[in-house]
Amino acid sequence: MSSYAAMSNSHLPLVPEALPQSNKENCDPSYDVDYESGLMQVAQKQPAGSAQPSRRPTGSVNPPSKLSQVNPSLFISGYDGASSLSILQQAGITHIINVTSEYEDCFPLHFIYLRLRARDKRSERLGPYFEQVSAFVLKAQQEGGRVLVHCQEGISRSATLVLAVMIINKGETLDQAFDALRTARPAVEPSPNFLRELRALERRLFGTASTRRLTPAEKASTDDLEAPEDIAEELTRLTSMAAVSEMTPSTEDHRTAIALVRGRGAHPLREIISTAVYKTFDVYARRELRDVRARAALARFFNALVVAGVFERADLRTSLQELFESEEWADFAMEDVPYAAGYARELMKQLT
């Protein structure tokens, strides 16, 4: 078992979730929640003496069609399965991971929830949650539970987290995990940005990553699957270390980053820059003090790359300017990361 799988999830902040405040009308009407009192009300059409909330599997071997069974204790679905109490109870679900920003948890009095408010956008990052989700699943399984991971359609976000669980908890490669998941649910198709994060996870755990193109979107791409993420991961790791420790990255750190970029010199500058900025800001632009240090560390790395002759300063500034003026960045900064816009302007000033 990997060290990630063995970690305790006692520190996880998202379990269980508070009572949902919206989308109640989309849930299975067999049960109704009184949001004022927090009490479960049984609708008139629900038979008397119906089952009480369960924390243990019912023993169902063949789950309903809206849920896809990955292994005996792990399931994946879209919101259609997660919003039906009868389906969930028939499958013996005890824990639910809700990977949406669109839908609240339907049955918080019946199941243990982990809520990750993720969107299916290119700027979204699920990597920071891989270990947390894997620990949540492992603990539930050790307690005899069954876990459902769901997003809106059960295709991209939920599939990404299920794959991460299989890689971390089972030690499977991405190729192995993907083939097994596709067998269980043929429609799964993680977005290319999520697949890059899964390959980065493989590299951290196993020292190498799968290179097989897994989805039509990947097969249509001419980009190398590893290079931009390699560089962004290293830049983010080093800037994160600098931000946490309040230390200036060393000359050796600069050389490491420069060597990585030079080794992948044929790859698009814009992809390298945008991924590194998104990943660093996503972690640190949520906290004002830390983001100042992380932003400064990122600026030092970019300046070092310019000094070393890897990037032309004009190209670097142009790529950053285009990134910060994009509609996707506006959504990212406005909805997710409150300090990102201001610190992006400061980052540009530091690239002198």
In this structure, what CATH number is given to the domain that contains residue 113?
3.90.190.10
Boundary of a domain, candidates 220, 245, 261: 220
Which residues are the active-site residues?
151
Residues 6+ apart with CB under 8 A from 69: 63, 75, 91, 184
CA distance 313 to 319: 10
CA distance 238 to 165: 26
Give the model's pLDDT for residue 108.
93
* Token reading at 87: 């389906």
**What is the domain range of residue 90?**
67-220
- Residues 267, 343, single domain; the answer is yes
Residue type, 109: L
Give the model's pLDDT for residue 150.
96
Give the model's pLDDT for residue 119.
85
Is residue 257 in some structural domain? yes
User: The tokens 């339907």 sit on which residue?
Assistant: 106
Which residues, in sequence order, are bridge partners of residue 68? Answer: 76
Burial class (CB in 10 A: 0-12, 13-18, 19+), 195: buried
CA distance 236 to 238: 5
CA distance 132 to 138: 10
Give the model's pLDDT for residue 65.
57
Is residue 46 in some structural domain? no
What does each of the 352 residues of the chain score in pLDDT, given as a tens digit? 443 333 333 333 333 333 333 355 567 644 333 323 223 333 333 333 333 333 334 444 444 458 999 999 999 999 999 999 999 999 999 999 999 988 999 999 999 999 998 888 777 888 889 999 999 999 999 999 999 999 999 999 999 999 999 999 999 999 999 999 999 999 999 988 888 889 888 888 887 777 787 887 766 654 444 444 455 555 555 555 544 444 444 545 555 555 555 554 444 556 667 767 776 676 666 665 555 666 666 776 677 667 666 667 787 788 788 888 888 787 777 666 777 777 788 778 777 6
Residue type, 115: R
- Residues 166, 194, single domain; the answer is yes
Is residue 337 in some structural domain? yes
Is residue 50 in some structural domain? no
- Residues 197, 159, single domain; the answer is yes
- Residues 308, 183, single domain; the answer is no
Burial class (CB in 10 A: 0-12, 13-18, 19+), 7: middle
CA distance 137 to 168: 11
- Residues 211, 258, single domain; the answer is no
In three-state form (DSSP H/G/I as H, E/B as E, the rest C), the secondary structure along the chain is CCHHHHCCCCCCCCCCCCCCCCCHHHCCCCEEEECCCCEEEECCCCCCCCCCCCCCCCCCCCCCCCEEEEECCEEEECHHHHCCHHHHHHHCCCEEEECCCCCCCCCCCCCEEEECCCCCCCCCCCHHHHHHHHHHHHHHHHCCCCEEEECCCCCCHHHHHHHHHHHHHHCCCHHHHHHHHHHHCCCCCCCHHHHHHHHHHHHHHHCCCCCCCCCHHHHCCCCCCCHHHHHHHHHHHHHHHHHHHCCCCCHHHHHHHHHHHHHCCCCCHHHHHHHHHHHHHHHHCCCHHHHHHHHHHHHHHHHHHHHCCCCCHHHHHHHHHHHHCCHHHHHHHHHHCCCHHHHHHHHHHHCC
Which strands form 112-115's sheet, in the order they lie side by side? Answer: 67-71, 74-77, 147-150, 95-98, 112-115
Is residue 34 in some structural domain? no
* Token reading at 288: 């004002």
Give the model's pLDDT for residue 131.
92
User: The tokens 């003090």 sit on which residue?
Assistant: 289
- Residues 156, 142, single domain; the answer is yes
CA distance 337 to 346: 15
- Residues 146, 260, single domain; the answer is no
- Residues 74, 165, single domain; the answer is yes
Which residues, in sequence order, are bridge partners of residue 194? Answer: none
pTM value is 0.56
End-to-end, the C-alpha distance of the chain in Å comes to 47
Residues 6+ apart with CB under 8 A from 325: none
Give the model's pLDDT for residue 237.
55
Give how many domains the chain has, as a whole number.
Answer: 2
Q: Are 46 and 31 in contact (CB under 8 A)?
A: yes
Boundary of a domain, candidates 171, 195, 220: 220
Q: Are 160 and 190 in contact (CB under 8 A)?
A: yes
Boundary of a domain, candidates 202, 220, 238: 220
* Token reading at 269: 């500058």
- Residues 79, 158, single domain; the answer is yes
Is residue 20 in some structural domain? no
